[in-house]
Amino acid sequence: MTGFTKGSLVRVKSHFPPSPPAHCRTPFYIRGCVGKIERICGAFENPEELAFGRLGGDKKVLYRVRFSQSDIWPDYEGAKNDQIDIELYEFWLETLEEERK
């Protein structure tokens, strides 16, 4: 997978990690939602491995992705420009182009 740049449109994968046991840092509410890359945070060890004490694996790129509240919650009652920024690992994101194929 290629890296994303600031402003790229991405969709959060809606799969579930294999279970049990599993650990991930992608909350359920954001899966399947479309947002825009806000910034690249750097590369960190994969929390899905670290949770089981498996240290020293490849580092994974972490992004902050910005979503419109009204895209996450169709019945959102706040102002229409309200947003959520959330940290997501690259392997949880897909480009919208890839999805169209």
Contact 88, 30 (CB under 8 A): yes
| Binding track, positions 19-58, relative to other proteins; x by CB under 8 A | ------xxx-xx----------xx-x--x-----------
What phi and psi values does residue 19 have, to the nearest 5 degrees? -145, 160
Please choose, from the candidates 25, 28, 29, 30, the residue with its C-alpha nearest in 3D space to the C-alpha of residue 51.
25
H or E stretch at 48 = helix 47-50
CA distance 60 to 93: 12
Least distance to other proteins from the beta carbon of 39, Å? 9
Site for other proteins in 53-82 (CB under 8 A): 62, 64, 69, 72-73, 77-79, 81-82
Shortest gap between Cβ of 95 and other proteins (angstroms)?
20
Which residues of the chain form contacts with other proteins (CB under 8 A)?
25-27, 29-30, 41-42, 44, 47, 62, 64, 69, 72-73, 77-79, 81-89
